[in-house]
């Protein structure tokens, strides 16, 4: 049995039925904290939320839904994991992204101010950074998002900064995610996007024969093997960073921004080799032209999260692949 979170800290987990949110939920429950999950189930799955966890089906686009849930559960801290995340879709349909990610966010912060909810932990992205001049990328690197998705996240960051500057009782922690992968150890939850656009689940689907061929988007980049290099981070490590932030938001983590990555880069070809090794499966791979919006290399500096939160990622690429593989096989 899990305990309810203390009445001094009632947490609203927005997007708790989604991939990352449901992993956050497991980490909270492991630490004997039961949040309230708020999700519109547009992409989240109801069965990702264990029995006994309070669930509110609501939409951030509806100010009244947010007002109701904040009041009903006397929320004190919001952890926000709900957004539209497909980069090419954000290029094709930017208004959807500004509405889902920014307008909704304005509703959320407005309702939080009305209800005197003072704390937010917010999921941002490495897509806020400009083409990096320095790798690994520190948090104070230049910010120039290369697509509307990154732009929406940067706008939300700005809203948090301005709100905290205007109201001294309001505080935030922002996390900029690099490439999140993997699944929780005991199974039951994992990455389940529709459509799937992320590399690791797509390679695994190909290894399972659900796709005919793995398309590699570009092998003419200025990287050691010509394919794009990314910094992969296990979803459970990522969720653990949020838990540390929850404990430090009134102290050293107050109004801070942290990268969440491993400081290590793997190319698309290296990921393919690792999947073949970990799964023991071979599959066809074919080179394709570059995908619009992809940069050659994104690697996080995670020194700040280590120094301030004491966070160090514990799970490497093989673990991300093996845990995602166990999940993928059950799908
Ligand atoms: N990628 C690929 N084939 C795929 C999916 C992705 O070659 O089917 C590449 C993509 O071009 C990028 C890297 O894998 O260089 C990581 O892409 P992903 O979508 O997982 O994350 P992103 O870095 O775009 O957030």
Cα(288) to centroid(ligand 1), Å: 12
Mean pLDDT of the 38-61 span: 96
Q: What pLDDT was estimated at residue 45?
A: 94
**Is position 36 within any domain?**
yes
What is the extent of the structural domain holding 32? Answer: 11-181+233-261+301-313
Calculate mean pLDDT across residues 147-151.
Answer: 94
Reported confidence tier of residue 3, pLDDT bands at 50, 70, 90: very low
Three-state SS at 179:
strand
Residues 157 and 172: their CA atoms lie apart, in Å, by 9
Q: Which residue of 125, 181, 268 sits with most ligand 1 atoms within 8 Å of its CB, as the best mutation to test the pocket?
A: 268
Residues 6+ apart with CB under 8 A from 320: 181, 182, 200, 232, 234
Classify residue 137: in a domain, yes or no: yes
Q: For the residues 101-110, what does the mean pLDDT come to?
A: 98
Main-chain phi, psi angles of 96, to 5 degrees: -55, -40
Give the DSSP H or E segment for 21.
helix 19-30
Check residue 187 and give its pLDDT.
67
Which residues make beta-bridge pairs with 78? 12, 120
Distance CA 27, CA 20 (A): 11
Judge whether residue 1 has pLDDT over 70: no
Residue nearest to atom 1 of ligand 1 (CA): 199
The answer to the question of residue 29 being in a domain is yes
Ligand 1 neighbours by CB, cut-off 6 Å: 87, 179, 197-199, 202, 215-217, 228, 230, 268, 291, 294
pLDDT number for residue 8: 60
Asked if the model's pLDDT at residue 7 lies above 50, the reply is no
Measured in Å, residue 173 CA sits from the centre of ligand 1 at: 27
Within-domain flag for 135: yes
Question: What pLDDT shows up at residue 293?
Answer: 77
Residue whose Cα lies nearest atom 11 of ligand 1: it is: 217
Beta-strand pair 285-288/266-267? unpaired
Nearest CA to ligand 1 atom 19: 198
305-327: per-residue pLDDT in tens? Answer: 999 999 999 999 999 999 999 99
Q: Which residue has the higher pLDDT, 191 or 171?
A: 171
CATH number for the domain spanning 157: value is: 3.40.50.720
Q: What is the mean pLDDT of residues 265-278?
A: 98
Q: What are phi and psi of 173, to 5 degrees?
A: -130, 130
Helix (H/G/I), strand (E/B), else coil: 67: helix
pLDDT of 83 higher than 50? yes
Question: How far, in Å, is the centroid of ligand 1 from the Cα of 85?
Answer: 13
State the closest ligand 1 atom to the C-alpha of 125, by its place in the atom list counted from 1.
25
Whether 149 is catalytic is yes
Rounded distance from Cα 198 to ligand 1 centre (Å): 6
Query: Residue 133: pLDDT above 80?
Result: no
Ligand 1 centroid from CA 219, angstroms: 12
pLDDT band at 120 (very low <50, low <70, confident <90, very high): very high
Pocket test for ligand 1, best of 207, 230, 285 (most atoms within 8 A of CB): 230
Which pLDDT does position 307 carry in this prediction?
98
Q: Over 70: is that where the pLDDT of 289 sits?
A: yes
Higher pLDDT, 239 or 1: 239
Looking from the CA of residue 198, the nearest atom of ligand 1 is 20
* CA dihedral (230, 235, 240, 243) positive or negative: positive
Q: Whose CA is nearest to atom 10 of ligand 1?
A: 217
Domain count, the chain: 1
- Decide which of 188 and 219 is more confident: 219
- Residue 1 falls inside a structural domain: no
271-288 average pLDDT score: 98
Tell me the β-bridge partners of 230. Answer: 266, 298
| Residue among 234, 221, 231 nearest 127 (CA) | 231
Residue 55 has pLDDT above 70, yes or no: yes
**Residue 160 tokens, joined:** 């948090």
Residue 199 forms part of a structural domain? no
Confidence of residue 5 (pLDDT cuts 50, 70, 90): very low
pLDDT at 10 over 90: yes
DSSP annotation of 38: E
């Amino acid at each position: 049995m899990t305990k309810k979170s203390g009445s001094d800290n009632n947490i609203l987990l927005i997007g708790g039925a989604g991939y990352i949110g449901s992993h956050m939920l497991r980490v909270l429950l492991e630490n004997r904290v039961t949040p309230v999950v708020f999700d519109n189930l547009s992409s989240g799955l109801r069965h990702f939320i264990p029995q006994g966890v309070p669930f509110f089906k609501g939409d951030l686009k509806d100010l009244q839904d947010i007002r109701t849930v904040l009041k009903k559960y006397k929320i004190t801290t919001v952890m926000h994991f709900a957004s539209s995340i497909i980069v090419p879709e954000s290029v094709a349909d930017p208004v959807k992204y500004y509405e889902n990610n920014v307008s909704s966010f304005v509703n959320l912060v407005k309702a939080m101010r009305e209800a005197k909810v003072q704390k937010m932990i917010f999921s941002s992205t490495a897509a806020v950074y400009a083409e990096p001049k320095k790798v690994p990328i520190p948090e104070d690197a230049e910010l120039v998002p290369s697509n509307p998705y990154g732009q929406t996240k940067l706008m939300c960051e700005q809203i948090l900064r301005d709100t905290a500057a205007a109201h001294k009782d309001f505080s935030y922690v922002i996390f900029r995610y690099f490439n999140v992968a993997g699944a929780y150890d005991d199974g039951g939850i994992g990455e389940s996007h529709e459509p799937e656009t992320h590399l690791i689940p797509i390679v695994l689907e190909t290894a399972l024969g659900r796709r005919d061929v793995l398309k590699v988007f570009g092998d003419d980049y200025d990287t050691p093997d010509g394919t794009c290099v990314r910094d992969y981070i296990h979803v459970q490590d990522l969720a653990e960073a949020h838990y540390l932030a929850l404990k430090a938001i009134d102290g050293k983590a107050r109004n801070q921004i942290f990268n969440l990555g491993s400081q290590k880069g793997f190319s698309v070809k290296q990921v393919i080799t690792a999947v073949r090794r970990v799964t023991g499966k071979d599959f066809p791979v074919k080179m394709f032209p570059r995908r619009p919006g992809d940069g050659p290399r994104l690697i996080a500096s995670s020194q700040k999260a280590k120094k301030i939160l004491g966070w160090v990622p514990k799970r490497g690429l093989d673990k991300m692949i093996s845990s995602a593989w166990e999940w993928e096989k059950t799908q």
